[in-house]
Amino acid sequence: MQGACVVPSASLCAAAAAAAHSRGAPWVHAPAFRPPSAGFTSTSSGSTVSLGRKSQPLLGGRYQVRLASRTGSRQCDRGSLRVHAALATDPRQAAQTSYQKLASIEHAGGTLTTLKVYFPNMKKRTLRVWTPPGYRKPTADKPKYPVLYLNDGQNLFEDHMCFSGISWRAGITASRLINDGKVPPFVIAGIDHSEGNRSLDYCPYQPGTGVWDFRPEAKSWPGGGVDEYNRSVVGEVLPFVEEHFGVSNSPKLRGFGGSSFGGICAICMAMQFPDVFGKMLIESPSFWMANGKFLDDIQEYGAKWPKRMFFAMGKKEYSGTRNGNRTDVDTLLSGYFNSFVEIMENKGLQKGRELDSWLEEGAAHNEGDWARRLPGTLTFLLSPWCEEVKYQSMRSTFSPLGTGWESDSATGYHYHADTGWYYDKNDQMYYHEALGKWTL
């Protein structure tokens, strides 16, 4: 509905939400896994209102719901009414989430923390969270860290954890890029796969064996659970990492990605929750799954995409990994990848700005090749974070009640001449021309 703002996730304690509509009770998008009794608390009045009757389900298991009463306050935002609300705490969900810290070690100048977390829906899952050199959990008045969430967490950091013996070496690469000033300090949150249910979690269909039965071992592998997995990532993993590691909940400062089936999952996430992640990293996506049927889904998808996406694959995805000379399969897989890139470019995503792709000569389907491409991948995807973090840091250096502010009687806003920020004291919203919109 025009003017509505998506609320993609709910913290176990509280998640910020906003909706705008010019007249009548505003509409808010809420995750389907929230209980029907969940309420919204108005930040202006402190009162709680219950959700209205659910309408048609939206993509990704969300529902469009109407607030039971009109809350919030009017502000000069191009004539619209902005309603500030927060999802009320669901004590049942919070009580069901617990975790155990398994290890915390120095890694690439930062810290790698391994946790076993027990979620209400995802159940038991291992998270591996790398925090950068100099990391300190930010206080309430400091900007949050950008964060990149990645599938197959056990393959990201430590070589001895990987079947191939080589990991993505994500912490090492991230630390080097941070030290070189190419990206700002950021957090990597790896989500371990679920062993035998990996294809179930990551694939929209049962994989099958490929058009020429070149993957006979996958004949009985399950599929079709990716929507549920992605809902759990957005509704359970993100709030947990945000609460415990002080990472940002802004889509601009949040990325997601994966490789192989995990890359397919990342594309599904981009379509399922396009407003949750601003960056997508997709390595060697297994388009052979279900005989290429997923490409048709991508072609038919007509909604928005994340702001920046990176795709890559090797030209020897099959032969280079399985020690066989199946150039026909390699050509098939490369063709799938080229079709995917063409589809995305035809949808209007600009090469070099909104997307970048790499079909690498001689590269195979393994962590070693993904690790080698990772410096360029992260530089393309995450370098825009430098500017966004600069704005956050600049905003956090002054107080709305401190010196340097002038009151604008015409608008009711406060203006900080030294930095160019506007501030709405009543609604605690900031505006800067470079950002082009109001922000909390």
What does residue 50 show for φ and ψ, rounded to 5 degrees?
A: -85, 160
Which among 132, 261, 123, 113 has a CA at the least distance from the CA of 185? 132
Would you state the pLDDT for residue 163? 82
- Joined together, the tokens standing for residue 119 give 């979620």
Would you state the pLDDT for residue 397? 54
Would you state the pLDDT for residue 88? 30
Instruction: Convert 228-267 to b/e letters by CB count within 10 Å (16 or more is b).
Output: ebbbbbbbbbbbbbbebbbbbbbbbbbbbbbbbbbbbbbb
Would you state the pLDDT for residue 389? 84
How many Å apart are CA 146 and CA 163, to the nearest integer? 29
- Does the pLDDT of residue 233 top 80, yes or no? yes
pTM of the model: 0.74
Which of the four pLDDT bands, split at 50, 70 and 90, describes residue 323? confident
Beta-strand runs (E) in 75-146? 82-87, 98-107, 110-119, 123-131
In this structure, which amino acid lies at residue 217?
A: E
- Does the pLDDT of residue 227 top 50, yes or no? yes
Would you state the pLDDT for residue 291? 97
3-state DSSP assignment of residue 139:
coil
Would you state the pLDDT for residue 237? 96
Q: What is the DSSP string of 364-426?
A: -SSHHHHHHHHHHHHHHHHTTHHHHHHHHHHHHTS-TTSTTEEE-TTTS-EEETTTTEEEETT
CA angle 127, 129, 133 (to 5 degrees): 170
3-state DSSP assignment of residue 312:
strand
Q: What is the chain's mean pLDDT, rounded? A: 78
What would the mean pLDDT of 13-23 be, rounded to a whole number?
Answer: 28
Would you state the pLDDT for residue 218? 96
Residue 414 or 33, more confident:
414
What would the mean pLDDT of 110-124 be, rounded to a whole number?
Answer: 96
- Does the pLDDT of residue 30 top 70, yes or no? no
